[in-house]
Chains A and B, each alone.
Chain A
Amino acid sequence: MKRLFAVAALCMALATPAMAGDIAGAKAFVNKVATDVLNIVKQPTSKELQQAELMGLIDARVDIDFVAKFALGKHWRTATEAQRADYLNAYRPFLKKNYVSRLTRYSGQTFKVGAGRVDSDGSYVVNMDIVDPQGANVVMVYRMVDAPKNGGYRISDIVVEGVSLLATQRSEFNSIVTSKGLDHLIAALKKQTARKA
């Protein structure tokens, strides 16, 4: 009986995120992530605590390894196993640090979740308007993949006014690897992460 209960509970836990695989689910996910971010950055706590909480949120909501591989593009294929591991280890804190520094620059904006759709590659795309009380509104687009096994959606890219963070990083990395090599890029990532914000 006990065992049956455990199986039923497991089934329910697995079924819930899988069912969430639709546009409404993607919009709800984006709404939740943005709400969580605002709740953290609006807290009157220490900066260190905010940063730690944001890091945890990014870990849970962003598909960091996908982003890392995509940012490296064609150079991922030619990298050795050791380089790949080294690169991923250097990239994860680099991405988190940069996201956190952007998010903590918060100054009173609010957001409105807009339309959503499924793209030809199967990723979910949700629009968001950032309403800035001091200036013009900003159009943001979240791109995410649905990964039921990992507990639901994972953000893969954020596009601001037509500029994709991922595509930008990809051309930057490509330029560095082409001219100076992958090891140089890995060293640069580590150096940038170690630099004080």
Chain B
Amino acid sequence: MKNKNDVRRFNLALASVMMMALVGCAPANSDPAENDPMESINRGVFEFNQVVDNFVIEPVAKGYRYITPDPLRSRIGNVSDNLQEPLNMIHAFLQGDFDQGMVSFWRFALNSTIGIAGMNDVAASAGLERRSEDLGQTLAVWGVGEGPYVVLPLLGPSNLRDTTGTVGDWFIDPVNYAIDDTSTEIWVAGGQGIVKRERLIDVLDDVEESSLDPYVTLRSMYRQHRAAQVGNTGDGPLPSSGDVTE
């Protein structure tokens, strides 16, 4: 029980830091369409994250990629994905998508057993495709707007709605209750973070190489990607040529 309380305290502290950051800032002079009234603070956190990423997270992710041969790495990725299925299921149900909730249920059931602790995605071979759901998406389906864009320390791009979602999911996630040990939970979360960062190596290298302003590029990518996840589409926004007609 003590451990749960630690987790709560940690999250409350995180949430209050967030709220202070939100309340105590004056709007910067950026385009309202970019939804980023706290741009100057966000840029500061972004710079900090870049430094930490360059010196710690990225080297660890690249080291992980280097030492794990491909079949092993995709199995580790599958285990990590499988641990998210209970949360995917809960949120599919909360969004009223019963069919997808059952897909997540069966994915977890099949992959945890026949797939051996989630190492093999046997469910996908049976046509049960993975879909990532979380509290941020559920809130969006319930009509909550994204709120201002926020760059979280270490966790990176988010917004007020998704930050609430991230904190809330820590309490909702059945896997955290199953583990019931704070330090193990943090290790698991850290491991999942490295798996995620390894998958993003090429995308983020590309942004670093080609972007004129990586902060703005990542902000735009995050917002588009989340909108696509919420709508469960991969289409992206429709370009309107109205602006360029002469």
A residues sitting closer than 8 Å to B (CB atoms) are 66, 69-70, 72-74, 76-77, 97-98, 101-102, 105, 119-121, 123, 125, 127, 133-136, 139-141, 143, 156-157, 159, 161-164, 166-168, 171-176, 178, 185, 188-189, 192, 197
With a CB–CB cut-off of 8 A, which chain A residues contact B34? 171, 174-175
- Interface hits, B203-245 → A, CB 8 Å: 206, 209-213, 216-217, 219-221, 224-225, 227-229, 233-241, 243-244
Pick from B74, B206, B212: contact of A185, CB below 8 A.
B212
Q: Enumerate chain A residues within 8 angstroms of B74, measured Cβ to Cβ.
A: 134-135
CB pair A139–B31 under 8 Å, yes or no, is no
Residues of B near any A CB (own CB < 8 A) = 30-31, 34, 70, 73-74, 77, 199, 202, 206, 209-213, 216-217, 219-221, 224-225, 227-229, 233-241, 243-244, 246
In the docked arrangement, what's the CA distance between A98 and B211, Å?
Answer: 9
A141 / chain B contacts, CB cutoff of 8 Å: 234-236
Are B233 and A172 interface neighbours, CB within 8 A?
A: no
- CB-defined A-B contacts under 8 Å, sample of 13: A73-B244, A97-B210, A125-B235, A134-B74, A136-B77, A141-B234, A143-B236, A162-B224, A162-B233, A168-B224, A171-B216, A172-B220, A178-B30
- Are A166 and B77 in contact, with the CB atoms below 8 A? no
What are the residues of chain A within 8 A of B244 when measuring CB–CB? 66, 69-70, 72-73, 76-77
What 7 A-B pairs have minimum CB-CB distances, sorted nearest first?
Answer: A162-B228, A159-B236, A164-B236, A139-B234, A171-B220, A69-B244, A98-B210
Q: DSSP majority for the B interface?
A: helix
* Centre residue among B73, B212, B246 by max chain A CB count within 10 A: B212
Q: Known contacts A77-B244, A172-B211, A175-B216; can you find 13 more A-B pairs with CB under 8 A? A: A77-B246, A102-B206, A105-B206, A141-B234, A162-B228, A163-B220, A163-B225, A167-B236, A171-B34, A173-B212, A175-B30, A176-B212, A188-B212
Could you say which of B70, B210, B228 has the most chain A C-beta atoms within 10 Å of its C-beta?
B210
Interface centre among B199, B227, B234 (most CB of A within 10 A): B234
Task: Note all chain A residues with C-beta closer than 8 A to B210.
Answer: 97-98, 101-102, 192
B contact residues around A119 at 8 Å (CB): 238
Closest to B65 in A: A134
Contacts of A66 in B (CB 8 A): 241, 244
Residues of B within 8 A of A162 (CB): 224-225, 227-229, 233-236
Q: Is the CB of B239 within 8 A of A167?
A: yes
Residue of B whose beta carbon sits closest to that of A97: B210
Considering only CB atoms, which chain B residue lies closest to A102 in the complex?
Answer: B206
Give Cα A164 to B220, complex, Å. Answer: 9
Question: Across the interface, do B221 and A163 meet the contact criterion of CB distance under 8 Å?
Answer: yes
Are A135 and B199 in contact (CB-based, < 8 A)? Answer: yes
Chain A residues with Cβ below 8 Å from B235 are 125, 141, 159, 162
